[in-house]
């Protein structure tokens, strides 16, 4: 296996009154070539800030306190990112072929004609029917699903080895969501592209990703294969997320997670989930954060993992 992206540390500060606080603190992970890693967690856990820090497009007034990453051995590594709202990524005054061609020209030194021809190929690759007819369409003329395909083509135009996806299917209806997930999966396999896929929805992540990292209050609290994380979660927060998502799909009785995640200015020492955790003991409030390996390729930040039974996990 070849590492496509090795993230050793991401820390992001956000403004708070006259000072700043860290909203993303302990984020580190690797993604292999041709692998999709899902990043899941409740709203506000720091998923978007993490991706924006990696991409170098943090919002104004936020700042990168640490960013250490390296790519695998192969040369020419590049990241591209797609967002929840495709229209925001597209200039309204450019036709779709030109939007895609611009990415091609920015990456390969080719004349406009060749870039526009390449744009048509990319439109076909992302499953846009009759690319030649759609080439002169304006972004606002397209359906949500087609817009997201155009945005994916714009990303592919830069020949990315790593594709960062921030909830790219959340705004789409379920059928179109499945089609876009299918497309991303195909691109991963065909191109050997690495994907970092952010979603608050475990079920969505599980369909696309081989591994899952769970984020809570600015930290990754569990990471493992999709199979292991779903079948044998090793952190009470992951188990609670699973309960909540199963109850939504009606498979099991409802057990929503009580309380709400802490705001960055209130991040405490020890486990940040302790206040909402049914299994928390004193040690949880003092033990420093550490992602410890509990099984092959499966790690958790829960210090009490060995003592917890199936009622919690």
Ligand X SMILES: Nc1ncnc2c1ncn2[C@@H]1O[C@H](COP(=O)(O)OP(=O)(O)OP(=O)(O)O)[C@@H](O)[C@H]1O
Which positions touch Mg ion (CB under 5 A)?
48
Using rule CB under 6 A, residue 208 touches ligand X? no
Distance CA 231, CA 27 (A): 23
Q: Which is nearer to ligand X, 27 or 156 (CB)?
A: 27
Dist. CA 196–CA 167, nearest whole Å: 11
Neighbouring CB atoms inside 10 A of 44's CB total 17
Q: Give dist(CA 96, CA 150) in Å, integer.
A: 7
Residue 224 binding result from Mg ion, ligand X, none, given CB thresholds of 5 to 8 Å by partner type = none
Nearest to 208, CA basis, from 222, 226, 192, 190: 226
In the complex, the smallest distance separating the C-beta of residue 61 from ligand X, rounded to whole angstroms, is 6
Q: Residue 211 half-sphere exposure, CB side, CA atoms within 13 Å?
A: 21
Return the structure tokens found at 96: 């779709």
Select from ligand X, Mg ion, none the partner in contact with residue 45, using the beta carbon and a kind-dependent cut-off of 5 to 8 Å.
ligand X
Contact segment (CB under 6 A) with ligand X among 36-44, 112-120, 122-130, 284-292 equals 36-44
Say whether residue 264 binds ligand X (CB under 6 A). Answer: yes
If the CB atoms of residues 23 and 209 are measured against ligand X, the closer one turns out to be 23
The interface partner of residue 200, options being ligand X, Mg ion, none and the CB cut-off 5 to 8 Å by kind, is ligand X
To the nearest 10 degrees (0 to 180), the angle between helices 144-156 and 112-125 is: 130
What span, in angstroms and rounded, lies between the C-alpha atoms of 14 and 202? 27
Instruction: Tell whether residue 49 is a contact of ligand X (CB under 6 A).
Output: yes
Applying CB under 6 A, does 48 fall inside the site for ligand X? Answer: yes
Q: Does 44 bind ligand X (CB under 6 A)?
A: yes
Nearest Cα neighbor of 22 from 52, 68, 63 is 63
The two three-digit tokens of residue 89, written as one number: 């990524």
- The upper half-sphere exposure of residue 177, i.e. CA atoms within 13 Å in the direction of its Cβ, equals 16
Complex with ligand X: residue 200 or 272, whichever CB lies closer: 200
Asked whether position 200 contacts ligand X by CB under 6 A, the answer is: yes
Of 44-52, 125-133, 243-251, 282-290, which part binds ligand X (CB under 6 A)? Answer: 44-52
Binders of ligand X among 57-96, rule CB under 6 A?
59, 61-62
Q: Is 43 in the site for ligand X (CB under 6 A)?
A: yes
Of these partners, Mg ion, ligand X, none, which one is at the site of residue 268 (CB under 5 to 8 Å by kind)? none
Q: 25 vs 300, which CB is nearer to ligand X? A: 25
Closest alpha carbon to 179 in 161, 199, 198, 204: 204
What is the smallest separation between the CB atom of 64 and Mg ion, expressed in angstroms? 17
Going by the DSSP 8-state scheme, the letter that residue 59 receives in this structure is P
Binding site for ligand X (CB under 6 A): 14-15, 23, 41, 43-49, 59, 61-62, 200, 263-264
């Amino acid at each position: 296996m070849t590492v496509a992206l090795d993230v050793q540390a991401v820390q992001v500060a956000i403004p708070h009154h006259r000072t700043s606080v860290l909203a993303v603190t302990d984020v580190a992970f690797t993604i292999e070539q041709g692998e999709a890693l899902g990043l899941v967690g409740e709203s506000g856990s720091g998923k978007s800030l993490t991706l924006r820090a990696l991409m170098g497009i943090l919002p104004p007034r936020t700042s990168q306190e640490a960013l250490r990453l390296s790519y695998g051995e192969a040369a020419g590594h590049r990241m591209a990112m797609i967002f929840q709202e495709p229209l925001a990524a597209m200039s309204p005054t450019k036709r779709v072929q030109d939007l895609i061609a611009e990415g091609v020209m920015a990456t390969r030194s080719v004349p406009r004609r060749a870039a526009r021809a390449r744009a048509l190929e990319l439109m076909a690759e992302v499953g846009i029917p009759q690319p030649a007819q759609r080439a002169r369409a304006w972004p606002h003329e397209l359906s949500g699903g087609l817009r997201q395909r155009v945005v994916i083509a714009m990303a592919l135009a830069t020949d990315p080895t790593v594709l960062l996806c921030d909830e790219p299917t959340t705004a789409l209806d379920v059928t179109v969501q499945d089609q876009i997930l299918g497309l991303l999966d195909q691109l991963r396999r065909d191109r050997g592209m690495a994907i970092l896929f952010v979603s608050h929805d475990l079920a969505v992540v599980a369909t696309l990703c081989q591994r899952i990292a769970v984020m809570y209050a600015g930290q990754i609290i569990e990471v493992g294969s999709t199979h292991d994380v779903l079948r044998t979660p090793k952190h009470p927060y992951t188990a609670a997320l699973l309960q909540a998502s199963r109850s939504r799909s009606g498979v099991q009785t409802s057990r929503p997670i009580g309380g709400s995640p802490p705001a960055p200015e209130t991040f405490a020492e020890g486990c940040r989930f302790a206040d909402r955790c049914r299994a928390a003991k004193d040690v949880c409030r003092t033990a420093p954060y550490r992602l410890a390996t509990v099984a092959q390729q499966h790690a958790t930040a829960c210090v009490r993992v060995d003592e917890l039974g199936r009622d919690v996990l």
